[in-house]
């Protein structure tokens, strides 16, 4: 055997020994994923779910945008500005890891990035985005559940605060409802508090004064049932535009607050907001759904007519015949007054109301409501308030919820600060 061959074999032997020695130094159970950091395992982790258009799937998780940023920013400033005393800095062990943390309460906040869009094909004509509310809602709920599960497993001693605004309140509220009814991805004991602003599924409430106007902002901590979330601020009446959640918030009812500004129909849909009630379902229809939707509504119409009271049908038929007869006479004798007669038929006669009793569908009810001056004025004022007075975006500005003049955002900051400072 040549010297060169012996040298090569010796080199291979040395390399093999090095590899085996290195492999032996790495435990077989080593986790390939990085261990949780002290920052990840704060005592309180705030997960904020932004509203429509406020975030996207690739947004920076560490930056809370929009409305909720006006809560998390002041909250972190209030709780993290005072350094702990010497007695509070004794380290303690984080369960299941080698990490330690201070006995001083640490708080951090992050947003839940998701595809926060809405509209479906109708809004897609103007925005170029055909994503429906249902699709966006499902995306956000999946993102929130995944992040909460990840943090709950990595940080077994952490408590959670869940915040949501608008569509984010819909997602956060769904999450809290499932957790509170013990169907969620984390145990209810892990939830310190929840705050919802303009929740599209806010539990129904009735203005206690019996009038259409909301009572004084003295009305705080209102509950409509034992499992409903706590309404803070004036009671706007009505309910969320998407109805209310079955089972409410379950065992989390006392830990979840909700706020709804007057004239914000997203969270205070009333029985007179018929146009909104008819339009919202259309925002959830994809182009693929349109044929089935049209067939379904047609079958619903046929079913309602077939099941209507014969006397109601007879009254509607009589009204239609009477009004059409008037139109025929006017068309034959005085065609120039035909527009006036048509207007009287639509706005003054009972024909549309009588037909609506037979059809019994929200789309037709919405059409009829626009022919009634009082309902038209109310719905127009709701639209003007939403678009011009910005009721939906007033929670951190001019919508106050108590006699101290705190806005909804300020109240939540104070509420959370007090809960956290009181001890976990």
How much is the pLDDT for 210?
A: 40
How much is the pLDDT for 223?
A: 76
Sheet holding 107-111, edge to edge: 107-111, 44-49, 159-165, 191-197, 256-259, 230-231
Closest CA to 260 of 199, 176, 193: 199
How much is the pLDDT for 67?
A: 97
CA distances to 67, 207, 266, 283 from 383, in Å: 21, 21, 11, 17
Report yes or no: 258 and 202 within 8 Å, Cβ to Cβ: yes
Q: What is the spatial distance between Cα 321 and Cα 305, in angstroms, rounded to a whole number?
A: 17
| DSSP 8-state assignment for residue 186 | S
CA distances to 250, 321, 330 from 325, in Å: 58, 6, 9
Q: What is the spatial distance between Cα 381 and Cα 389, in angstroms, rounded to a whole number?
A: 10
Q: Is the pTM of this model over 0.95?
A: no
Report yes or no: 67 and 169 within 8 Å, Cβ to Cβ: no
Q: What is the spatial distance between Cα 74 and Cα 417, in angstroms, rounded to a whole number?
A: 10
How much is the pLDDT for 169?
A: 98
Three-state DSSP at 53 gives coil
How much is the pLDDT for 424?
A: 56
Length of the chain equals 424
| DSSP 8-state assignment for residue 407 | B
Tell me the domains of the chain and their CATH numbers.
44-80+99-275+403-421 (3.40.50.1820), 282-389 (no CATH)
How much is the pLDDT for 327?
A: 86
Two structure tokens written together for 204? 């129904």
CA distances to 338, 390, 421 from 60, in Å: 62, 27, 28
pLDDT in tens, the chain (424 residues): 444 444 444 444 433 333 333 333 333 333 444 444 545 789 999 999 999 889 999 999 999 999 999 999 999 999 876 544 333 333 343 444 333 444 467 899 999 999 888 776 665 666 666 678 888 999 999 999 999 999 999 999 999 999 999 999 999 999 999 999 999 999 999 999 999 999 999 999 876 444 444 444 445 677 778 899 999 998 988 889 888 999 999 999 999 999 999 888 889 877 656 666 666 666 666 667 778 878 888 888 899 889 989 999 999 899 899 988 988 888 888 888 888 888 888 777 888 888 888 888 777 776 777 777 777 776 666 666 555 557 889 999 989 999 999 999 999 999 999 998 886 5
3-state SS of the chain: helix, strand, coil percent to 5?
50, 10, 40
Two structure tokens written together for 196? 């919802």
Closest CA to 211 of 235, 177, 247: 235
């Amino acid at each position: 055997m040549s010297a060169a061959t012996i040298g090569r074999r010796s080199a291979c032997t040395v390399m093999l020994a090095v590899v085996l020695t290195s492999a032996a130094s790495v435990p077989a159970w080593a986790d390939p994923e990085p261990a949780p950091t002290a920052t990840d395992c704060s005592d309180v982790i705030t997960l904020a779910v932004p509203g429509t258009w406020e975030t996207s799937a690739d947004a920076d998780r560490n930056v809370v945008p929009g409305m909720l940023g006006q809560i998390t920013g002041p909250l972190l400033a209030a709780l993290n500005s005072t350094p702990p005393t010497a007695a509070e800095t004794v380290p303690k062990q984080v369960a299941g890891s080698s990490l330690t943390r201070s006995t001083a309460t640490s708080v951090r906040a992050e947003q839940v990035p998701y595809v926060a869009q809405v509209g479906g094909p109708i809004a897609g004509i103007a925005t170029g985005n055909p994503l429906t509310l249902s699709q966006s809602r499902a995306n956000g709920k999946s993102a929130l559940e995944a992040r909460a599960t990840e943090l709950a497993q990595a940080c077994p001693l952490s408590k959670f605060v869940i915040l949501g605004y608008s569509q984010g309140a819909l997602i956060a509220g769904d999450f809290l409802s499932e957790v509170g009814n013990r169907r969620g991805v984390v145990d209810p004991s892990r939830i310190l508090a929840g705050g919802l602003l303009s929740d599209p599924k806010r539990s129904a409430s009735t203005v206690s004064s019996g009038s259409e106007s909301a009572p004084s902002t003295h009305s705080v901590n209102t509950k409509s049932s034992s499992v409903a979330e706590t309404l803070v601020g004036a009671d706007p009446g009505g309910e969320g535009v998407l109805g209310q959640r079955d089972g409410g918030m379950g065992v989390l009812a006392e830990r979840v607050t909700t706020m709804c500004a007057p004239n914000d129909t997203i969270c205070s849909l009333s029985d007179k907001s018929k146009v909104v009630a008819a339009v919202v379902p259309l925002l959830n229809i994809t182009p693929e759904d349109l044929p089935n939707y049209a067939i379904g509504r047609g079958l619903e119409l046929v079913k309602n007519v077939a099941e209507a009271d014969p006397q109601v049908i007879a009254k509607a038929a009589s009204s239609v015949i009477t009004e059409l007869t008037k139109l025929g006479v006017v068309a034959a004798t005085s065609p120039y007054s035909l527009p006036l007669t048509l207007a009287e038929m639509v706005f003054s006669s009972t024909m549309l109301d009588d037909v609506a009793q037979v059809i019994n569908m929200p789309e037709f009810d919405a059409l009829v409501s626009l022919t009634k001056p009082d309902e038209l004025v109310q719905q127009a004022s709701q639209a003007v308030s939403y678009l011009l007075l910005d009721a939906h975006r007033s929670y951190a500005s001019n919508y106050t919820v108590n006699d101290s003049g705190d806005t909804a955002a300020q109240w939540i900051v104070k509420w959370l600060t007090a809960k956290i400072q009181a001890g976990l």
